[in-house]
Amino acid sequence: MSNPGANDGRLVRRIRFYWDSPVRKFIWDSLLRVPWLIAYNIAGTAVLVILFALTSQGRDLLRISAERGFGLADLDFLWNLLFLIGTLVGSLSLWYISRLTLGVEYPGYPLDPKYAAFGRRWWPRVVGSLVPLAIGWTFLQIGSAAPSSETLLGWLYLAMGIALLLFYLARRPMFGVARDHMILDLRNAVPTEHRRRGRALLIAALALVPLFVIAPVLLPQLLGAPAIAVLGVVGISLFGTAVLTYLPMSNGAPPLTLAVLLLALVSGIWNDNHAVRVGDGPDIPVQRPTPVEQLAAWQQERAGSAVAPESVVLVATSGGGISAAYWTASTLAYLEQKFGAAFTERLFAVSGVSGGSLGAATYVALKRAGLETGQADSLLDRVREVLGHDFLSPVVAGMLFPDLVQRFLPVPIGLADRQRFLERSWESAFDGEARALFKGPFQGLYSGPEAAALPSLMLNTTIVETGQRGVFSNLRVDGFPQVIDLLEPRYGLGDIRTSAAAGASARFTYVSPAGTVHVEDGDTLRLVDGGYFENSGAATMTDLITLLVKNGVALEPILIIIDNDTTAPNLCRRDGSVDQPPSGERFNSTVSEVTAPAQALLQTRAARGNLAEVTAANLVESIGGTVIEVPLASVLRARLAALGAADAETIAAVESRYVEPPLGWSLSQEVREGMDNTLRNEQGGLDRQLRYLAIALGLEQGEVPPCAAH
C-alpha cells in the first residue's frame, strides 16, 4: 500500500532537484534575467533585423540603396556611406552600452555570477553584430536592378558584422587588457571614463532632434531613411537601457519604463501638435461655386471650341502611397501630352484618395505654374521629377526624433509634427512658382483667370469622430450626401495649404498622425487617410455625377478610373475581368479568434473601394457615358510579359519589387522607370484602353464596348 506522505516527499525532492539544477540556473540567469536588463537593446536589434530582413519597406529601402550605389552624381554615395557609418556606430553603441549595463551588480536584482557569466558576455556581442549581418544577408537576397551594387553592399555589411564579432571576442588580447580590468569582471559601478562615453553617445543621439527640426527636409534626405532608422532605433534603445534601466536600478529603484509611459499618457492631454497646417497670411476670399455653377461656367468657357460642351472627362484615382501619386500625375500629364486639347478641354474634375490626391494636386499645381510661366509643354517631365524625390526620409526622421520626444512633453510644439516633415518635403520638391502654389493656400490654385483652365479637385479624407468622408475642393460639396465640406468657414481651414490638403487625404496609419481641426464652436475633429472610408475616390465622383444629373445638366461623361493597386484585376468585363469567387488559405482556428475581425475590416476597405468603382461605372454607362481604366497593374503585367516563361522564383521577385510597401513614400528607380516605360509604350493593356479613350474623345472612329463592371 502506497504512502501519500512518501509520494509528496519525492515530489518535493524532484522539484527541488530541478530547481537547483545547473541547466535551470543557466536558463534562468543567462537566457532570461540577464537579457531583461538590456531588453531595450535587444528589442531595438530585433526591430532593425525585422525591418530590413523581413518587411517589404525595409527590403525596398535596401533596393534603393543598391540603385544609388557609390556614384558621385547627386551625392548618391553619401546615402550608402552614412548608412554604413550609422550601422557601424549603432552596432558598437548597442554592444558598449549593453556591456556597461551588464557589468554592474544591482541591489534587489541578484544574479549568480557563475550562471550569468555566459549571458553577460554573449548578449552584448549578439546585439552588437546581428544588425549588419541581417542587412548584409538581405542585400544578397533582394534582387534589385543593380546587382553589382547589392552584391558589394551585401558583402560589406557581412564583413562588418563578422569583423565586429571578432573584435568583441579578441579585443582583450588585441589591446593587452588584463582580465581583472574588464568591465564584466569589476561588478561595481561603471568607471567614470565609461560613464562619460555613455553620456556622449546619448547626447549625440539627442542632438539630432533640434537639427531635424531646423532642417526637416535637407538633413533627412542627406542622411537617408536607412541610416535614420538605424540611428533612431539605436538612440531609443540606448536611452531605455541607460536612463530608464541602469540609472534607477543601480540606485536600488525599479526601472522607469512605467513612469515614462505614464508621463506620455498625462502629457497627451495637452500636447497635441498635429493641427492641420494652414497658411501664415490672411485668408484668400474665394467664392466657391457649386458643381452645377462650375460646370455651367466651364461649358461657357469652352463654348467656342470644337469640343461638345456636354462631353466631360472625370477622373477617380485611388490611394497607394508614392506609387499612386507618381502614376496618377504621370497618367494625367501623359494623356494631356498624347491627346492635347481634346483631353484638357474636357477634363472637368479629379477625385483622389491618399497618394492619388497627392498626384492630382501635383498635376494641377504644375499645370497652373506652367500656364503662368509658359512651360506647359514639359509637364510630364516635371511631374516625374517632383514625385521622384525621397519623401520617406523626412517623415521617418520626424517620427523617430522630434515627434517621439514631443510625446513626453506637456506643451505642443508644431515644429515637431512628423506630418509637417512630410508636407515640407513635398513642397521642397517643387521650385519657382509651383513651389509657392503648393506651399500656399489650396484655394489660391483657383484664383485668377488661369483657374478656368484647371480641373476641379476633390481630395477625400476621413473624419475619425463620425467615420464620414471629408472633402477639400474648390467646389462646394455640401450637397453631397453624408459628406463634410471642410472648406466651410466653421472649420477654420479656408487658408489650408495645398500640401496640407493633399496631406489630409494621405494620413495613413502610424506613418502620419491624425490631423486636428479646431471647429469654431469649440469642437475638435481629427482627419485620417481617405482610404479608411473608401480607397478609390469613386464614391465622391458618383456623388458629383448624381448631383449634376439631378439638376438637369446635359452630360456625356468619360470616367477614367486610375486604380493604383498593383495586383488588382480589371474592373470591366470587356477587358477580361471575370467573377472571382471568395477563396482563402487554411487558417489556425485559435489564431483566427484574434485576427479575423481585423482582417475583415482591412478587406472591407478594399471591397468598398471596388464597390464604389462598380457603382460609378454603372452610373456613367446608364447615362450614355464611357468608362476607361488606366490601372497601375499594367506596369506589373508589362514587366511579367517581358520576362516570358520565367520560373516562379523570378516572377515572385519581380512582384515583390512592384508591390507598394506599407510606408510607401519612397520609390525605387526601377519601379519609376517601369511606370514610365509602360506609359510611353502603352503596354500591359494600356494600348487598348487609350484607343477606347481616343474613340470617346472623337479622335478615332469606332465604338467602345460596354464596361459591364461587376
Q: Angle of helix 498-505 relative to helix 432-439, nearest 10 degrees?
A: 60
- DSSP letters, 305-326, are SSS-TTEEEEEEE---HHHHHH
Predicted confidence at residue 186, as pLDDT, reads 47
**Cell numbers linked to 116:** 550569468
Q: Are 128 and 168 in contact (CB under 8 A)?
A: yes
Task: Give residues with Cβ within 8 angstroms of 453, minimum separation 6.
Answer: 344, 367, 371
> How crowded is residue 120: how many other Cβ atoms within 10 Å of its Cβ?
23
| Long-range contacts of the stretch 366-375 (C-beta < 8 A, 24+) | 366/329, 366/333, 366/430, 366/434, 367/336, 367/453, 367/454, 368/434, 368/437, 368/445, 368/450, 368/451, 368/454, 369/430, 369/432, 369/433, 369/434, 369/437, 371/450, 371/453, 372/433, 372/450, 373/432, 373/433
Q: Could you tell me which of 464, 484, 482 has the C-alpha nearest to residue 472?
A: 484
Most confident of 18-22, 484-488, 661-665: 484-488
For residue range 188-215, list pLDDT tens digits in order. 566 677 678 778 888 888 899 999 999 9
Q: Could you tell me which of 100, 155, 148 has the C-alpha nearest to residue 133?
A: 155
Which of the 8 DSSP states describes residue 473? E
Q: Are 459 and 316 in contact (CB under 8 A)?
A: no
Burial 175-207 (b: 16+ CB within 10 A, else e): eeeeeeeebbeeeeebeeebeeebeebbeebee
Cα 328–Cα 333–Cα 335 angle in degrees, nearest 5: 95
SS3 506: coil
Q: State yes or no: pLDDT of 584 exceeds 70.
A: no
Average pLDDT over residues 683-696: 94
- 104 versus 4: the higher-pLDDT residue is 104
Predicted confidence at residue 541, as pLDDT, reads 97
Q: Could you tell me which of 159, 162, 155, 160 has the C-alpha nearest to residue 138?
A: 155
**Cell numbers linked to 278:** 494652414
Predicted confidence at residue 248, as pLDDT, reads 92
Q: State yes or no: pLDDT of 360 exceeds 60.
A: yes
Stretch among 467-471, 480-484, 567-571 having the lowest mean pLDDT: 567-571
Query: Using CA atoms, how far apart are residues 358 and 332, in angstroms rounded to an integer?
Result: 13
SS3 346: coil
Query: Using CA atoms, how far apart are residues 291 and 542, in angstroms rounded to an integer?
Result: 13
- β-bridge pairing 556-562 and 626-629: parallel
Q: State yes or no: pLDDT of 647 exceeds 80.
A: no
Predicted confidence at residue 181, as pLDDT, reads 47
Which of the 8 DSSP states describes residue 112? -
Query: Using CA atoms, how far apart are residues 165 and 450, in angstroms rounded to an integer?
Result: 64
Average pLDDT over residues 668-686: 91
Q: Locate all alpha helices (DSSP H) within 55-112, ordered by sequence.
A: 56-68, 76-102
Q: Report which secondary-structure segment, H or E, holds 452.
A: none
For residue range 160-189, list pLDDT tens digits in order. 999 999 999 988 777 665 554 444 544 556
Predicted confidence at residue 406, as pLDDT, reads 96
Show me where the domains of the chain are located. Answer: 25-255, 291-394+427-577+593-633+684-696
Predicted confidence at residue 27, as pLDDT, reads 86
SS3 120: helix
SS3 411: coil
Domain 291-394+427-577+593-633+684-696 has CATH 1.10.1060: no
Q: Is 494 exposed, middle or buried (0-12, 13-18, 19+ CB in 10 A)?
A: buried
Q: Are 103 and 245 in contact (CB under 8 A)?
A: no
Query: Using CA atoms, how far apart are residues 379 and 334, in angstroms rounded to an integer?
Result: 9
C-alpha pair distances (Å), 338 with each of 124, 480, 629, 675, 699: 61, 33, 16, 16, 11
- 171 versus 485: the higher-pLDDT residue is 485
Which of the 8 DSSP states describes residue 106? B
SS3 526: strand
For residue range 474-483, list pLDDT tens digits in order. 999 999 999 9
Average pLDDT, the chain: 88
Q: Are 229 and 79 in contact (CB under 8 A)?
A: no
Query: Using CA atoms, how far apart are residues 246 and 234, in angstroms rounded to an integer?
Result: 16
